[in-house]
Structure 1
Amino acid sequence: MLLNFRVANHRSIREEQELQLHPAYDADRPPGTDWAAVPVVGLFGANAAGKSNLVGALEYMARMVLNSHRDAEPGDGITRSVFRLDAAAADEPSWYVVDLLLDEVRYTYGFSVDDERVVDEWLYSYPLGKKRRIFERPDGDVHPGDSQARRELELVENITEPNVLFLTMAARSKQEDFRPVYDWFATGLRFGGGRARPPLGAPAVQVPDVAELLALLRSADLGIEEYGTERQVMDEDALRRLYGGRVPQRELARLEERGPREFVRPWFGHRGRSGVVRMELHEESAGTRALLEQAPRFLSVLQRGGTFIVDEIDSSLHPLLTTRLIRLFQDPETNPRAAQLIFTSHDASLLGRVDGEDILKRDQVWFVEKERHGETRLIALSEFKPRTGENHERRYLGGSYGGVPFIDESFTKALAARGDEHGETA
């Protein structure tokens, strides 16, 4: 479970920004839970405010943890994306920190990097609430904690290049105290994009529980009553049916070169006048295909636990469907492992209410805005001391919280003048 994320000097983020996931209001906790962090966080803001950069910063941190030993050649330095609108930023480190709760133990892990090397790195745990140093790496020198096997960690340090994270090498060298944090980045943290689309003819997404997926499809009122999969050989006849009779030349060339391929393809049973009619994925609407692509990922993280990050969740899903998915994370019955959903969105309707209840609680909403010099700033809704039952959607659109685009009159006048010019020309 992610408790906190901090980042500085990454793309549009200049000064330290902190995403705090600790509950702020006991009254807003999902009934029957004592979760240490909120199950859902929504990040709202105008285009180019930096929402995706915040998500990208956490993704960069995960990539460094999992792949720094593969991506970095000795002496090649480190690839990073600093704040470009301040020349001094290029000479300063970029740094990233997470606080995690894993098997009831809190961990803090972070690192800072410049263009050449890992400048600083550290890992602490807090068993029984007391701080325990696992290791520190100030200025590139590793200092193991008192409980660590120093000789073994010295061997790991000897094979750790200056541009590689020590956590990566220690965890891969089977140092047990390093594994929980490394494993969270490897399997507990997942990323999804609202714009993702499966190619036609691609294998179906692995569905963790067909019954749960079918219940979700039914609740979305898409007219889908049944769901299943079947193996299908993609030969020329199948391609002709798939593409409506005219098969692209590239597909025919691939078929001639490689031969027929076998896929596991989903089918969907729709209500019809004479009963249930089976339809294939390509026959569904774009919105339905988007839900079918995303839903198994949501259901998987709900079953297994972890933190799921979705950038631009509203770019492919209808707000009512997004609301349905959010509620799955809010309910301990459908979220027994305290999984988390963190998403970015432009859709202010998600700040509203459905059936008399807030879709997102007061401590689950953050706003992202750009300041005068292009720096991203992260602001919690809770900083505005919102009252219970307050209309967050209306206040956000009215500019009370920030994070909305500002278009001055010169833009409107320029458009009007351009229209007049074309009118005169015509």
Structure 2
Amino acid sequence: MLLRFRVANHRSIRDEQTFSLIATPRRGEPRAAKPLRVVGVYGANASGKSNVLAALDWMIKAIKLSHTRWEPAEGVPRQPFKLSPTGPGTPSFFEVDFLHEGVRHSYGFEADDRQIIGEWLNTYPSGRPKKLFERDGAAEFSFGRSLTGELQRIRKLTRPNSLYLSCAASNNHPVLGAVHASLTQRVSFVQQDHKDQERRLLLAKYLLGDPAFTVVLNTLLRAADLGVEGAEVIEAPDETKFKEFAEQDPEFASHPEFEAAFRAIHAKVVLRRSSSEVRLSLDEESAGTRAWLSLIGQAMLTLRGRGVLVADEIDSSLHPLLSSTLIRMFKDSAINRHGSQLVFASHDTTLLGSLLEEEILARDEVWFTEKDDAGATSLYSLAEFHPRRDENIERGYLQGRYGAVPYLSFERIREILMEGIEQPR
């Protein structure tokens, strides 16, 4: 589980920003670090809320791919703040605090365009920091006494532009490999673009092949009141395409599992409508139906595996009641038995209020982004404003009480249009 994320000099984030996923203790409660299960980020268009999630995504991908995918001679493919002359020359900074095997860990690194200039991993088994390793510059390393294994061999294999944690996982270090897996295998990202949705629909198709998942997915489809009775996978083999592929790569086609894999990939998901026996393919369904099916499959895997689901524009093509249902799934301890987390960005202000007289998001579960005159993003929590328990958060946000909303003067827009549009004669 994630506890805190810090970032500086990435896209619109110029100065260091801290994103906390730890619950704010209520009056009389102990100040224990209790992870939040849901956190939402709000802000005006182009305020940087997506960049906060993208920064976490970039960090996770760097941990996963820097040793195996980054070209040795091409430096670090970072994305520094470009709206000031110092941005490209200033290092980028990333740090995440998380729970691994029930113990708090803190991992981070700094990088410029050429190389990693700092990297560290600490653990807190008894509340105090305990160093596992630290890197100062591209090649200077120090290791804690508790960390054993082929540390020096891995150090020699670590390139200036790759992360030691990435290299250690690639070389099967048992301790660092497990930490690496906690970050790279349990955190998944949802982008609202066609390619990513197709990936998630492919995942849903895979899950529909499992009878246990099929029951739950179909129940959630019916409960969404989309007019869909259920989904199923049907084989739709194109024999001509199958033969063409086999002729192009006969060696691959000779594999005993080739035909089964080919047919599974080319199988189709069809949905049964409640009012008809006719089955429609996903391509014939509405954007809302496709969005819901693609999200609930990813959410089910996250809930099942003690993971973190990071979703940009969670409200895209979804009715507010569906978005709120997804949030409530993660907040419900009976459903979310492993404490999985949902982190999302949204414009849907109804989630800030009460739907069906039930609070969706608590004060410490809401964060805002805002840009200053220089185009730099700042990130802050609703809890910093200490709103009253009975305060209408949705109305206050739209009125600009907490910032993070665009300033629009309709009167000024009206004046411009009246002056600029030629009046009919």
| Residue among 158, 165, 168 paired with 1:167 | 165
- What is the correspondence of 1:66-145 to structure 2 with a 5 Å cutoff? 66-140=64-138, 141-145=140-144
Question: Relative to 1, partners in 2 of residues 1:149 and 1:271: Cα closer, same or farther, differing over 3 Å?
Answer: closer
- Shift in CA distance, 235/203, structure 1 to aligned 2, threshold 3 Å: farther
Shift of 1:38: 0.7
- In the other structure, the counterpart of 1:249 is none
CA contact (8 A) 1:194 1:317 kept: no
Aligned twin of 2:219:
215
* Aligned partners of 2:11 and 2:51 also within 8 Å: yes
Q: How far apart are 1:118 and its partner, in Å?
A: 0.6
Residues in 1 aligned to 2:346 and 2:204: alpha-carbon distance in whole angstroms: 27
1:300 deviates by 1.1
1:366–1:202 distance in 2 versus 1, CA, 3 Å: closer
State yes or no: 1:9 paired with 2:9: yes
Structure 1 position 76, deviation (Å): 2.8
Correspondence list, 1:267-278, <5 A? 267-272=270-275, 277-278=278-279
| CA deviation after TM superposition for structure 1 residue 385, in Å | 0.3
Per-residue Cα deviation, 1:370-399 (whole angstroms, up to 9, x for no partner) = 111111011101001012232111000000
Residue of structure 1 equivalent to 2:405: 404
- 1:412–1:17 CA distance, 2 compared to 1 (3 A): farther
Matched residues in 2 for 1:195 and 1:316: separation? 12
How far 1:128 sits from its partner (Å)? 3.0
Q: State yes or no: 1:226 paired with 2:230.
A: yes
Q: What does residue 149 of structure 1 align with?
A: 148
Report the CA distance between 1:284 and its aligned residue.
Answer: 2.2
Residues 400, 277 of structure 1: alpha-carbon distance in 2 compared, 3 angstrom cutoff: same
1:175-205 per-position Cα deviation (integer Å, ceiling 9, x unaligned): 2221233102221110012334439x97853
8 Å contact kept, 2:89–2:112: yes
1:270, distance to aligned residue in structure 2 (A): 2.5
Shift of 1:226: 3.2
Q: Deviations over 1:399-419 (max 9, x none)?
A: 001111113454442233222
* Change in 2 beyond 3 A, CA 1:202/1:131: closer
Question: Once structures 1 and 2 are overlaid, which stretch shifts more, 280-289 or 344-353?
Answer: 280-289
Question: Paired residue for 2:255?
Answer: none
CA distance in structure 2 between the partners assigned to 1:202 and 1:334 by the alignment: 24
Q: Identity over aligned residues, as a percent?
A: 39
Residue deviations 1:47-74 (CA, integer Å, cap 9, x gap)? 1101111111111111111111123333
2-structure distance, mates of 1:189, 1:82: 23
What do residues 277-306 of structure 1 show as CA deviations (whole Å, max 9, x unaligned)?
Answer: 543323322211221122101111111121
Offset of 1:100 from its aligned partner? 0.2
Maintained 8 Å contact 2:329/2:335: yes
What residue identity is the alignment partner of 2:170? R
CA-atom RMSD in angstroms: 2.5
| Counterpart AA for 1:48 | A
With normalisation by structure 1, the TM-score equals 0.87
| Structure-2 change in CA distance of 1:377 and 1:114 (3 Å) | same
Cα distance change of structure 1 residues 121 and 35 upon mapping to structure 2, 3 Å threshold:
closer
Moved more, 258-267 or 85-94: 258-267
Q: How does 1:14-413 map to 2 (within 5 A)?
A: 14-26=14-26, 36-140=34-138, 141-149=140-148, 152-196=150-194, 197-198=197-198, 205-207=205-207, 209-234=213-238, 258=245, 262=263, 263-272=266-275, 277-408=278-409, 410-413=412-415
Change (3 A) 1:235 1:176: closer
Post-superposition Cα deviations, 1:16-52, rounded to whole Å, max 9, x if no partner, equal 111101101448x9xxxx9831111111111110111
**Structure 1 203/106 Cα, relative in aligned 2: closer, same or farther at 3 Å?**
closer
Measured after TM superposition, the shift of residue 355 of structure 1 is 2.1
**CA spacing shift, 1:287–1:20, aligned 2, 3 Å:** same
TM-score, normalization by structure 2: 0.87
Matched residue type, 2:416: A
State whether residues 157 and 166 of structure 1, in contact with CA within 8 Å, keep that contact through their aligned partners in structure 2.
yes
Distance in 2 separating the partners of 1:307 and 1:8: 22
Change (3 A) 1:391 1:158: same
Structure 2 distance, partners of 1:117, 1:132, is 26
User: Quick one: which amino acid aligns to residue 148 of structure 1?
Assistant: L
Q: 2:419 maps to what in 1?
A: 417
Distance 1:203 1:72, change over 3 A: closer
For residues 63 and 202 of structure 2, the distance between their equivalents in structure 1, rounded to whole angstroms, comes to 30
Asked if 2 retains the 8 angstrom alpha-carbon contact of 1:268 and 1:281, the reply is: yes
User: Relative to 1, partners in 2 of residues 1:235 and 1:313: Cα closer, same or farther, differing over 3 Å?
Assistant: farther
Given that 1:206 and 1:296 are in contact with CA atoms closer than 8 Å, whether structure 2 keeps it comes out as: no
Secondary structure of the 1:69 match is coil
Counterpart CA distance in 2 for 1:170 and 1:338 is: 28
In the alignment of these two chains, the number of paired residues is 397
Equivalent in the alignment of 1:245? none
Q: Structure 1 regions of 5+ residues with no counterpart?
A: 237-253
Partners of 2:7 and 2:318 lie apart in 1 by: 29
Question: Does structure 2 conserve the Cα–Cα contact (< 8 Å) formed by 1:204 and 1:264?
Answer: no
Counterpart CA distance in 2 for 1:280 and 1:84 is 44
Pair 255,74 (structure 1): closer, same or farther in 2 beyond 3 Å: closer
- Equivalent AA in structure 1 for residue 219 of structure 2: A
Contact 2:7–2:93 under 8 Å retained in 1: yes
Note the C-alpha offset of 1:235: 6.0
